[in-house]
Amino acid sequence: MRILRLLLFIGLILLAPERAHTGDYRSNKIHKETEKEENPPLLEDRIVEIRQLVDEILVKNKFNGSVLIGYKDYILYQNAMGLASLRQRNLLTEETPFQLASVSKSFTALSVLLLVQEGRVRLDEPVKTYIPEFPYPAVTVRHLLNHTSGVPNYIGIAAGKWKDGTQRSNQDMLELLLKHKLPLRFKPGTRFQYSNTGYALLALLVERVNGSPFHAFLKDRVFDPLGMENTFAYNRVEWENREVAIGHRGKTPAAEVPWPDPLDDVLGDKSIYSTPADLFKYRKAWTTDILLCDSLRKLAFTPGKIAGNKETRYGFGWRIKEIQGTPIIYHNGLWHGFTATYTTIPNYELTIIMLNNTNAHVGRLAWQIARRIEPLLDPNKNSFPENSEEPEDADELSE
Note the pTM of the prediction, 2 decimals.
0.89
Q: Tell me the C-alpha distance between 91 and 82, whole Å.
A: 6
Q: What is 27-350+358-377's CATH superfamily?
A: DD-peptidase/beta-lactamase superfamily (3.40.710.10)
E-assigned strand segments in the chain: 20-22, 25-27, 65-71, 74-81, 83-85, 90-91, 98-99, 232-233, 272-274, 305-306, 310-311, 319-323, 326-335, 338-345, 350-356
Q: Are 316 and 113 in contact (CB under 8 A)?
A: yes
Q: Tell me the C-alpha distance between 137 and 123, whole Å.
A: 14
pLDDT of residue 361: 94
Which of 106, 127, 351, 134 shows the shortest CA–CA distance to 218? 106
pLDDT of residue 281: 98
pLDDT of residue 325: 86
pLDDT tens across the length of the chain (399 residues) = 444 444 443 343 333 333 333 334 445 554 444 444 557 889 899 999 999 999 999 999 999 999 999 999 999 999 999 999 999 999 999 999 999 999 999 999 999 999 999 999 999 999 999 999 999 999 999 999 999 999 999 999 999 899 888 999 999 999 999 999 999 999 999 999 999 999 999 999 999 999 999 999 999 999 999 999 999 999 999 999 999 999 999 999 999 999 999 999 999 999 999 999 999 999 999 999 999 999 999 999 999 999 999 999 999 999 999 988 889 999 999 999 999 999 999 999 999 999 999 999 999 999 999 999 999 998 777 667 666 666 654 455 443
Task: Provide the 10 A C-beta neighbour count for residue 104.
Answer: 28
Amino acid letter for position 350: L
pLDDT of residue 366: 96
Which of 365, 357, 376 shows the shortest CA–CA distance to 88? 357
Strand arrangement of the beta sheet that strand 98-99 belongs to: 98-99, 272-274, 232-233
pLDDT of residue 387: 60
pLDDT of residue 35: 44
Angle, helices 196-210/105-117, rounded to nearest 10 degrees: 40
